[in-house]
Chain A
Amino acid sequence: MSTWLLSILIFSPMLGVLVLAFVPSHDEKSIKWLGILGTLFPLGTALITLSAFDMSSDKLQLAETYRWISYEVFQSKGEVSYPIFYEVGVNGLSMVLILLTAVVSVLAAVASFSIKKNWKSYFILFFLLEMGMLGVFAAQNLFLFFIFFEITLIPMFFLIGRWGYVEREKAAYSFLIYNGVGSAILLIAFVSMFMKTGTMNFEKLTETFSLPQEELNAVFITDGYMMGMLIALLIAFAVKLPVVPLHSWMVSVHVQAPPAIVMIHSGILLKIGAYGLITFGAGMFPEEFRSLAFVIGLFGVINLLYGAFLALTQTDVKRVLAYSSVSHMGIVLIGLAALNEAGITGAVFQVVSHGLISALLFFLVGALYERAGTSELNDLGGLAKRMPILAGVLLAGGLASLGLPGMSGFISEFMAFLGLFEKMPILAAVGTLGLILTAVYVLRAVLAITFGTEKEQHETYTDLTSAERVPAFVLLAAIMFIGIYPAWLSDMLRPALDVILLGLGG
């Protein structure tokens, strides 16, 4: 049983698809409840996986390997087999992200109660998306990673294009094309690595690339080639993260997609970019990564400042949050660029923390939009009176976002900057400016919504319903738990991060 555990986890959302297939498409209530149940099953499986996971080990766990496809390549030295395996497994980092995926998916399914039409196809796509995300984090070879990576694209295209707001189709296309460029670069890099080394397995690739240079030259892997591969990977994941100037698609997705999908997108899908940077970038090409550290740090600071400045000037709260995500992803880059324990831990903490915070904020904004029909700051105001709970949670989420101590955002920002100050103090000093800006734009937006003069039409608004309170409180609790007791998370991550740090020579 335990040998199959991870595969069961990855494909567990398909059970929901199966069940939904037999429900009539007009039965709104059953579909929505089945939608939630369908995400609870992966969450349960994820928790079982967690209990089977040995936190102290730095080995790959729950690994499964099956032979899948095999190409026979005719070469001068005879026929050489190029096998592709089905390989899954988890380490601390992927375990954390799988948990995050399972949790945010359940909450997003609850938030999907506001979906107005075609619930059946919505939830089927939703489950496919969840399967893709779980697979991305569990995959242990490039082929499988790429397949799951692409599987997330297609449901997202439909979910944005069919259930989004006014300019949904434009947003869907821009999502598809930008991410298409990213995965195009990714595919070329992956195939090239496969053909050079004959393997796609992460561990074997890392081993191969860390061989002495003379041995590598014999198989045509030069310094320049490794640098080229790293840059290709960096660009591919920079689209996903996103890194300025490749961010415009992400802003339009955040504005146009339905709130539940934005929760998933901002909470998890963007994190695939960070996961890729850590696993492939820093993990496989540590030396090259080291030599590019300054550039990565520079892009991180640019992201942080650019996102913060633009967030400051937006009048639509969705746009404020979208640019805030750009800004916060800069912190991931900053932490990675530091190449030391504090920095990398900070980067991963930021991944998890921002996943929770942005899911919470986008959920609240979705709930707000549901009532007010607008997310313009000018049309909102004084909501604390009519909806104290929504306003309170929004304020708490905002404070977490700006990095208030005691919340998860503080830990990650603090550690990322701690790391960078050690290595590149000047860059880090410039970056701290971003933290101040963050406080300004978050408070500007949150205060404009909750306090200020109340608009007349607000009188009919109701506070969060009990169904809506569940995701809001769960997310807030998770944010505070990590903020108060970060050791839980860092213990789980430590072995995996130690391996990467060892490679980086840190």
Chain B
Amino acid sequence: MDLDTLLSYKWGVMAPEFIILGVATLLSVLDLFMKKEASRKPLAWLAGAGIIAALVSVFLQLDQEVTSILYDTYRLDFFSKAFKILLLLGTLLVIVLASSYKKEEIDENRGEFYYLLLAALLGAMMMASSADMITLFVGLELLSLSSYIMAGLERRNKRSNEAAFKYVVSGGIATAITLFGMSYVFGLTGETNLFLIVQNMQDEELLKHGFLLVFAFFITFVGLTFKIAAAPLHMWAPDVYEGAPVPVTAFLSVVSKTAGFVILIRFIIITFISAPAAPNIDGEVMLLQVQPYVMALAAVTMVIGNVTALRQRNIKRMFAYSSIAQAGYLLVPFVSNSSLLFELIWFYLLAYLFMNIGAFTIIQLLTTQAGSNDISVFRGLFKRSPWLALPMTLFLLSLAGIPVTAGFVGKFGIFMGALGLEPAHYWLAAVMMLTTLISYVYYFNVIAVMFFRDDEGRKISVPGGMATVLAFCAASTLILGVMPGLALDFFYGNFDINEFFMRIEEVGTHTH
């Protein structure tokens, strides 16, 4: 590859990534030269401005045709744009939480906090725009490594250290598993580019080794369940969520999970959609052969998440299990091979972003001011601060999937996905409905503590930034609940399912 080739690429399509990379670098340099005691508030503003700029550039790219540069290692299609919007929006809200997170232990590392968030975001965005196993993996690692450090940011807090350590160890194992599975895919097809893998999938020779493909599928799938916190690799979530600082928990539960779904959809769907059936097993194509098992995994995730959440007194642990349960719901359209899976997962993640970050904003306010993570911090909140209790109720109702909230429309869509195809997956829908009912108990328990218990403690003061996040999340949850068309029409207006599966022949470059 010579300089001409390098210059012939349309680097402009990478503008959002470049902005984030630039801001992250700038922040790390600034942080180095700033006085130790100086407030790091300007850094947060800068990070926020960078994310907004990146968000704007993503929106400006909306009309751009599908573009692929660097041999498909970077690919700009609507799928990547749609999910980048989620990632950027989520991180933006988390930055606000992070800047209002009042804990002494974190003050000395606050600068790191911001640029690590941006680095993690960059990794997630790379995943959204990759169609090559190598870059997908690099993006995944960038996200993971930054997250490991962030989890342990409260250096003198034992729990935070424990969280970081557990996260590193289990994350490392999950990465190894993912990579092991990917190596099988590479071994069988001889390619790392997802579209070339698909082409080679049709090879006669490969048909004889169909079972290896099934093996590769399960290994990578299981490895990737780590990021979305779904069974079988979900056990890290409660400990890490509990120990990590609240903004990091919010980041892990929303942005990191979204990124997990991005790689899951991109990698699994493109690679295995046309994978041949393994011999000696019933079914026409591989994805249908493995479907019962991945459906079982989704069902197990929903059951584990919801049933274990029932027993939690610690609000952060409860939300960890709730987030496992939500991952289970999100897996439903994925494992039922619905053609609606793109919009359903995207919409639910959008709804989830608002309701979960909204809830974590209030959790952060209450737990840091009370110095406890017990559910009792919510006691009598309606009497003390009705303007916190009302949005929290809205977020909880949305998480539980009650109508007039975004969560309901998301769940409704997921049911459409599960019941839409022939044969309809009634039992999966039934498991989801049943576990949703179980979730009523613990979500409404928080509501009951806020409304029905006597008031104790003092009023909660809300910093301006957090109030803005709260208002924004609450309004979005409500608006998407009443007019989901706003988001869905935006998606349908730009999305073309063929585009996702189409390989773009690069112009002006030679093949390798």
Contact of B416 (CB < 8 Å), options: A121, A172, A194:
A194
B442, chain A: closest CB distance, angstroms: 12
**C-alpha gap A154/B400 in the complex (Å):** 12
| B444 cross-chain contacts in A, Cβ below 8 A | 157, 173, 176
A47 touches B (CB below 8 Å): no
Would you give the 0/1 interface string for B85-103, flagging 1 where the beta carbon is closer than 8 Å to chain A? 0000000000000000000
From known contacts A69-B485, A191-B415, A191-B416, infer whether A181 and B437 are also in contact, taking CB-CB under 8 Å.
Answer: yes
| A436 cross-chain contacts in B, Cβ below 8 A | none
Asked if B340 contacts A187 (CB within 8 A), the reply is no
B433 touches A (CB below 8 Å): yes
Instruction: Give the residue name and chain of the A residue nearest to B498 (CB).
Output: A74
**C-alpha gap A161/B403 in the complex (Å):** 20
B468, chain A: closest CB distance, angstroms: 22
Asked if B397 contacts A70 (CB within 8 A), the reply is no
| A151 cross-chain contacts in B, Cβ below 8 A | 403-404
Asked if A154 contacts B402 (CB within 8 A), the reply is yes
**C-alpha gap A161/B451 in the complex (Å):** 9
A158 touches B (CB below 8 Å): yes
From known contacts A173-B441, A173-B444, infer whether A69 and B488 are also in contact, taking CB-CB under 8 Å.
Answer: yes
Q: Give the residues from 380 to 413 in chain B that come closer than 8 angstroms, CB to CB, to chain A.
A: 382, 397, 402-404, 408-409, 412-413
Asked if B437 contacts A180 (CB within 8 A), the reply is yes
B389, chain A: closest CB distance, angstroms: 10
Give the secondary structure class of A's interface.
Answer: helix
From known contacts A173-B441, A177-B441, infer whether A73 and B422 are also in contact, taking CB-CB under 8 Å.
Answer: no
Q: Give the residues from 438 to 461 in chain A that come closer than 8 angstroms, CB to CB, to chain B.
A: none
**C-alpha gap A146/B401 in the complex (Å):** 12
Asked if B433 contacts A184 (CB within 8 A), the reply is yes
The segment from B308-316, B350-358, B423-431 that touches chain A is B423-431
| A150 cross-chain contacts in B, Cβ below 8 A | 402-403, 408
**C-alpha gap A192/B430 in the complex (Å):** 12
Give the secondary structure class of B's interface.
Answer: helix
**C-alpha gap A220/B424 in the complex (Å):** 10
B339 touches A (CB below 8 Å): yes
Contact of A195 (CB < 8 Å), options: B416, B448, B492:
B416
Asked if B448 contacts A70 (CB within 8 A), the reply is no
We find that the number of chain B residues with CB closer than 8 angstroms to chain A is: 37
Q: Give the residues from 123 to 146 in chain A that come closer than 8 angstroms, CB to CB, to chain B.
A: 143, 146
Contact of B485 (CB < 8 Å), options: A70, A82, A121:
A70
Contact of A161 (CB < 8 Å), options: B452, B485, B488:
B452
**C-alpha gap A187/B404 in the complex (Å):** 15
Asked if A75 contacts B402 (CB within 8 A), the reply is no
| B144 cross-chain contacts in A, Cβ below 8 A | none
B211 touches A (CB below 8 Å): no
Asked if A68 contacts B448 (CB within 8 A), the reply is no
Asked if A188 contacts B426 (CB within 8 A), the reply is yes
Instruction: Give the residue name and chain of the A residue nearest to B420 (CB).
Output: A195
A488 touches B (CB below 8 Å): no
Asked if B437 contacts A184 (CB within 8 A), the reply is yes
Asked if B403 contacts A191 (CB within 8 A), the reply is no
Contact of B437 (CB < 8 Å), options: A82, A172, A177, A194:
A177
**C-alpha gap A153/B448 in the complex (Å):** 15
A147 touches B (CB below 8 Å): yes
| B402 cross-chain contacts in A, Cβ below 8 A | 150, 153-154
Q: Give the residues from 42 to 76 in chain A that come closer than 8 angstroms, CB to CB, to chain B.
A: 68-75
Q: Give the residues from 317 to 348 in chain A that come closer than 8 angstroms, CB to CB, to chain B.
A: none
| B413 cross-chain contacts in A, Cβ below 8 A | 71
Most chain B CB inside 10 Å of its own CB: which residue of A158, A191, A194? A191
A271, chain B: closest CB distance, angstroms: 20
Asked if B339 contacts A184 (CB within 8 A), the reply is no
| A162 cross-chain contacts in B, Cβ below 8 A | 451-452
B176 touches A (CB below 8 Å): no
B434 touches A (CB below 8 Å): yes
Asked if A191 contacts B412 (CB within 8 A), the reply is yes
B186 touches A (CB below 8 Å): no
Contact of A180 (CB < 8 Å), options: B339, B440, B448:
B440
B68 touches A (CB below 8 Å): no
**C-alpha gap A166/B339 in the complex (Å):** 51
A-B contact pairs, 20 of them (CB 8 A): A69-B484, A69-B488, A70-B485, A70-B492, A71-B343, A71-B413, A74-B339, A74-B340, A143-B412, A147-B404, A150-B403, A154-B397, A154-B402, A161-B451, A162-B451, A169-B452, A185-B433, A191-B415, A195-B416, A195-B420
Instruction: Mark B residues whose CB is within 8 Å of A.
Output: 339-340, 343, 382, 397, 402-404, 408-409, 412-413, 415-416, 419-420, 422, 424, 426, 429-430, 433-434, 436-437, 440-441, 444, 448, 451-452, 484-485, 488-489, 492, 497
List 7 additional contacts besides A154-B397, A157-B444, A181-B437; criterion CB under 8 Å: A70-B492, A146-B403, A154-B402, A169-B448, A169-B452, A177-B441, A187-B412
Instruction: Mark A residues whose CB is within 8 Å of B.
Output: 68-75, 82, 121, 143, 146-147, 150-151, 153-154, 157-158, 161-162, 169, 172-173, 176-177, 180-181, 184-185, 187-188, 191-192, 194-195, 220
Of all A-B residue pairs in the complex, the 8 with the closest CB atoms, nearest first, are A74-B339, A147-B403, A184-B433, A191-B415, A195-B420, A150-B403, A192-B419, A180-B437
